[in-house]
Amino acid sequence: MEKPPKITILDEKDQTLRKISKEVIFPLSEQDKKLIDDVIKYLTMSQIEEYAEKYNLRPGMGLAFIQMGIPKNIFIIVEELEDKKFQNYVVINPKILSHSEELVYIGEGEGCLSVNREVEGIVPRYARMTISYQDISGNKKEIRVREDISVAFQHEMDHLNGIIFVDKIDKKNPFKDKDKMREI
């Protein structure tokens, strides 16, 4: 892998992040397809320590188009399965079909490439969800996600609705209801 692609990620102070993303009409433009490829490459490189250090990349596993200032219902998740082996999810026009009653939270806290600071507190998330979405060709798909990938999907879907994870942390009691959820 050569250099990471140039991607501008908006900071949480940018009000663009508060916009509601729009339904994507197919076929995708060549520009959108290239950006999807660039994001996959960027997220992959950010999770490989040597590249992250060399290019000063903050490790990230997900990015929504709105975080780059583009209000389209698209997000990408790159999950490291084992050392330098990745599973990519390109999710377009997602909708939650069902979710578990069980709630979970990320023990060390959620992070976000748009939030450049430490944030204390827990974000309640569904442990499992079934999502309908479209792939890069516009084909309708369904996926069942669980645990950390379920959290990642919810985090990115929030972005599509103008919500940043810090909004979901109780300001007065950042660890509120911790005993009613399972830590992952």
> Which pair of tokens denotes residue 15?
């009000």
State the DSSP code for 72.
Answer: B
Task: Report how far residue 177's alpha carbon sits from residue 54's, in angstroms, rounded to the nearest whole number.
Answer: 40
Residue of 82, 110, 156, 183 marked catalytic: 156
| 156 in active site | yes
Contact between 156 and 91 under an 8 Å Cβ cutoff? The reply is yes
In sequence order, what E strands does the chain have?
62-64, 74-82, 85-99, 103-105, 125-126, 128-134, 140-146, 182-183
Cα 108 from Cα 100, distance rounded (Å): 22
Supply the residues annotated as catalytic.
156
